[in-house]
Amino acid sequence: MAKWWALLLSCALAAAALGKEAAPAADDPVLEARMQRIAVELRCLVCQNQTIADSHAGLADDLRREIREQLQNGATDEQVVQYMTDRYGDFIRYRPPMRASTLALWVGPIALLVGGLLVLVLVLRRRSRLGPEAFEPEPADDDAGPAKEAS
């Protein structure tokens, strides 16, 4: 695994040294802007926490070239993204598509939040129905036993 660390370090160093996005080929600013827009949505698989727009890895260079050429040849943004997913899988997309295998990813956080709120509401409601004898008295005597359980 040492080599992955080396790779990671070299990615980090490269990013630190340059600190800006890779220089665009400025011959067609409109196309270049489109290319950038697509590239920021795509993960560089060599330096996984960088986008293809940010990364200085050789592969990211090649993929930017590929996007540029496909756009020049009249491909739509969707076609370019599809081209990338066909080769590298959904993992290359920072926003993976919603499907059965990614459902947990999309629904999970919302489900957890809703579940948590539900539990909170239930607990609070039950407590509000309890009389004062169910709770610990004021903390005057500190070795009082634990509160009586209501359930």
> Can you give the binding site for another protein, defined by CB under 8 A?
1, 3-4, 45-46, 48, 58-59, 62-63, 66, 85-91, 149, 151
Return d(Cα 151, Cα 148) in angstroms, integer: 9
Supply angle C-alpha 76, 77, 80, rounded to 5.
Answer: 90
30/105 with CB nearer another protein: 105
Return d(Cα 16, Cα 10) in angstroms, integer: 10
User: 53, 49, 55, 19: which is closest to 38 by C-alpha?
Assistant: 53
Cβ 140 to another protein shortest distance, Å: 27
89/137 with CB nearer another protein: 89
62/136 with CB nearer another protein: 62
- 51 DSSP β-pair partners: 43
34/93 with CB nearer another protein: 93
Cβ 91 to another protein shortest distance, Å: 5
Cβ 47 to another protein shortest distance, Å: 10
Cα–Cα distances (Å) from 74 to 31, 38, 80, 88, 94, in that order, read 11, 14, 10, 22, 24
Cβ 133 to another protein shortest distance, Å: 18
